[in-house]
Amino acid sequence: MSVRYEDASARLGVIVGSLSKAITDSDATLANASTAAGKIYELECLYEICRRLKSNGAYSLAMAGSSKLRFRTKGGSIDRKYSWIEIRRNETVISELWTDLYFDTLSSSYSKDRSGFHELDIAIIRPNIPESSNPSHSNVLVACECKDSKFIKGMIRGILGLRRELSFFNAHGGPAEFQNELGPIHKSNPSSHVFLFCSDASVRHYKDGPAHFDIRVEHLE
């Protein structure tokens, strides 16, 4: 079993109550799956987001649906045969964390084809979205893209496009949920946090432009 998988899974288990292990659609551990490298990196990014959410003690996290965090091999709509993570404040569920989730874009009302939805590697959404549906752009609170690969500038173009499909640019946007944990939001309406995590350190040279649009570009090994 991959040491990297064991470490990431164990660290996440300390933070998320009742998590036993992370698996793929086929019930195989991530260490043995054909998509292992990318999914393990998503697991590491997931740990980082969960760590920040718990940093101030305002939120608690717990598995829902199963003690196993099941990664899909491709994205999909809300499907509660997969597990998710509940984010609670004062014992009330205020949001849900999902992996590999579709959302309906800001422009989806004008779309009659498959351009009206996109996939998020990690998404925090408002709770109780109906089964077999996609959360709307206004129900996405946190959106993360996770790139365990060599950095290319097209990643920046992609994350800027994602921001455009989540929010309007508004000089008086904000505030957003999780501002104390994930950082302030200034110009997005509806407000949401957008992250691009990349394992290539070169990404650190491309942070300032996206930051103007409330996008955090981060190097995460």
How do residues 112-171 score in pLDDT, each as one tens digit? 888 899 999 999 999 999 999 999 999 999 999 999 999 999 999 999 999 999 999 887
For 43-95, the pLDDT digits (tens) are: 899 999 999 999 999 999 999 988 877 777 789 999 998 889 999 999 999 99
User: What integer is the mean pLDDT of 30-42?
Assistant: 68
0.85 surpassed by pTM? yes
| pLDDT computed for residue 25 by the predictor | 58
| pLDDT computed for residue 19 by the predictor | 76
The structure tokens listed for 36 are 């292992």
* Positive/negative CA dihedral, 54, 35, 134, 27: negative
Write the single-letter amino acid at 152. Answer: I
d(CA 70, CA 77): 14
| pLDDT computed for residue 32 by the predictor | 52
pLDDT above 80 for 177: yes
Q: Which residues pair with 145 in a beta bridge?
A: 196
Residue whose tokens read 């104390």: 180
| pLDDT computed for residue 5 by the predictor | 72
